[in-house]
Structure 1
Amino acid sequence: MARVVVNVMPKAEILDPQGQAVVGALPRLGFGGVREVRQGKHFELDVDDTVDDETLQQIAGTLLANPVIEDWSVTRVPENGTA
């Protein structure tokens, strides 16, 4: 069994209204110095060792992300580590 992390983020050229809302709220809450926030999605999958990287990319690109507006990364987590 392997742990896989898939992070999905809006492409740089795509407007991120949720991130803009967060960056706008931070000064009102007393937090300064944050210029930009981008909000994405984080998935953790437990997969059989037989699942190859190409299959993981296909899962990410067809189900977890919208390739038109989002980029993603797939990372296998070492047994004693974190992604």
Structure 2
Amino acid sequence: MLNRRFRIKYGKILKDVGISHKKFHVLRHTFATNCVYNGMDAKALSEILGHSSVQITLNRYVHPSMEQKRNQLNALSSVYAGYCA
């Protein structure tokens, strides 16, 4: 649980940058999601977050968008293009 002084400072920072109140733990989720979306290895991220397994990290933070799925499939299609001709 965050102490009062930290909560006040955190609230002031959010207000100063124009962000509505968010629980502090949201920052952890945002960080993890951004790491995944920017290609960080799931094992490395799992260790940074202190999870006991990669599966926990994958279940909690990896939720690919339709655009990401499409991009991944398009990248694979170029790899396999020669085999389907």
- TM-score, normalization by structure 1: 0.32
- Normalising by structure 2, we get a TM-score of 0.31
* Structure with more of its chain in helix, by fraction: 2
Larger Rg: 2
> Which protein is richer in strand relative to its size?
1
Higher relative contact order (CA 8 A, sep 6+): 1
